Amino acid sequence: MADYLKRIGAGLILLDATPLSYDWVPPEIVGRGKEQEALAAMFAAIGTPGISCRAVITGNVGCGKTVLSRAFGDDISRHLSAIRTITTVHVNCRNHPSIAQVLQRIAKTLDERWPDRGFSSSEVIQGIRRNLRTRNQHMLLILDEIDHLLRREGGDLLYQLLRIDEGRDESGTLSLILVSQEQVLDQLEGAIISRFGKSNHLALKPYTSEQLTAIASQRAELATRHGAVSESILTLIGQVAAESGDARVAIELLEASVKSAEMDGSREVEIQHVDQERKDSKLQTVEPSLVNELLEHEKLTLLAICRRLRRDPEITTGDAEKLYKVVCEEFSAKPRSHTTFWKNIKSLESRGLMVTRMATAKAGRGRTQYISMPDSLPGTLEKRLEQALNQ
Ligand SMILES: Nc1ncnc2c1ncn2[C@@H]1O[C@H](COP(=O)(O)OP(=O)(O)O)[C@@H](O)[C@H]1O
Ligand SMILES: [Mg+2]
- Distance from the alpha carbon of residue 318 to the mean position of ligand 1, in angstroms: 38
Q: Which atom of ligand 1 is nearest to the CA of 144?
A: 21
**Percentage of the chain modeled with pLDDT above 70:** 92
- Could you count the other beta carbons within 10 Å of the beta carbon of residue 349? 13
Averaged pLDDT for residues 211-234: 95
Asked whether the predicted pLDDT for residue 194 surpasses 90, the reply is no
Q: Whose CA is nearest to atom 8 of ligand 1?
A: 64
At residue 362, the pLDDT reads 59
Q: Is the pTM of this model over 0.85?
A: no
Least confident of 130-144, 148-162, 272-286: 272-286
- Distance from the alpha carbon of residue 251 to the mean position of ligand 2, in angstroms: 15
Residues 62-87: tens digit of each pLDDT:
999 999 999 999 999 999 999 899 99
Residue 96 region by backbone torsions, left for phi larger than 0, else alpha for psi between -120 and 50, else beta:
beta
What gap in Å lies between CA 239 and CA 164, rounded to an integer?
A: 47
Averaged pLDDT for residues 158-177: 90
At residue 30, the pLDDT reads 96
Ligand nearest to the CA of 22: 1
Asked whether the predicted pLDDT for residue 294 surpasses 70, the reply is yes
Residues 33-53: tens digit of each pLDDT:
999 999 999 999 999 989 999
What gap in Å lies between CA 45 and CA 177, rounded to an integer?
A: 15
Asked whether the predicted pLDDT for residue 360 surpasses 90, the reply is no
Averaged pLDDT for residues 224-235: 94
Q: Are 233 and 240 in contact (CB under 8 A)?
A: no
At residue 283, the pLDDT reads 43
At residue 304, the pLDDT reads 96
**Average pLDDT of the chain?**
88
Residues 6 or more apart in contact with residue 186 via CB below 8 angstroms? none
Annotation: CATH topology of 3-15+207-281: Helicase, Ruva Protein; domain 3 (1.10.8)
Ramachandran angles phi, psi of 133, nearest 5°: -65, -45
Q: Which atom of ligand 1 is nearest to the CA of 59?
A: 22
Asked whether the predicted pLDDT for residue 152 surpasses 90, the reply is no
More confident call, 58 vs 390: 58
At residue 8, the pLDDT reads 58
Give the pocket of ligand 1 (CB within 6 Å): 22, 26, 29-32, 59, 61-67, 215, 218, 247-248, 251
* Beta strand extents in the chain (DSSP E only): 54-58, 86-92, 138-144, 174-180, 201-203, 315-316, 355-360, 367-372
At residue 364, the pLDDT reads 60
Beta-bridged to residue 208, according to DSSP, are: none
Range 33-203: architecture per CATH = 3-Layer(aba) Sandwich (3.40)
Annotation: CATH topology of 288-390: Arc Repressor Mutant, subunit A (1.10.10)
- β-pairing, 367-372 vs 315-316, is antiparallel
Q: Which atom of ligand 1 is nearest to the CA of 211?
A: 1
8, 14, 107, 265 from 5: Cα distances, Å? 6, 15, 46, 12
At residue 67, the pLDDT reads 96
Beta-bridged to residue 86, according to DSSP, are: 138
Q: Domain limits of the chain? A: 3-15+207-281, 33-203, 288-390
CA angle 254-260-264, nearest 5°? 140
What gap in Å lies between CA 266 and CA 264, rounded to an integer?
A: 5
Q: Which residues of 93-124 are buried (b: 16+ CB within 10 A; e: fewer)?
A: bbbbbbbeebbbbbbebbeeebeeeebebeeb
Q: Whose CA is nearest to atom 18 of ligand 1?
A: 66
Q: Whose CA is nearest to atom 25 of ligand 1?
A: 22
Q: Which atom of ligand 1 is nearest to the CA of 32?
A: 1
Q: Are 138 and 85 in contact (CB under 8 A)?
A: yes
Q: Whose CA is nearest to atom 20 of ligand 1?
A: 62
Asked whether the predicted pLDDT for residue 378 surpasses 80, the reply is no
- Distance from the alpha carbon of residue 54 to the mean position of ligand 2, in angstroms: 18
Asked whether the predicted pLDDT for residue 10 surpasses 90, the reply is no
- Distance from the alpha carbon of residue 74 to the mean position of ligand 2, in angstroms: 16
Asked whether the predicted pLDDT for residue 120 surpasses 90, the reply is yes
Q: Whose CA is nearest to atom 13 of ligand 1?
A: 248
Residues 6 or more apart in contact with residue 165 via CB below 8 angstroms? 129, 171, 172, 173
Ligand nearest to the CA of 69: 1
**Percentage of the chain modeled with pLDDT above 90:** 58
Q: 24, 30, 66, 207: which to mutate for ligand 1, most atoms within 8 A of CB?
A: 66
At residue 74, the pLDDT reads 94
Q: Which atom of ligand 1 is nearest to the CA of 218?
A: 4
Averaged pLDDT for residues 96-100: 93
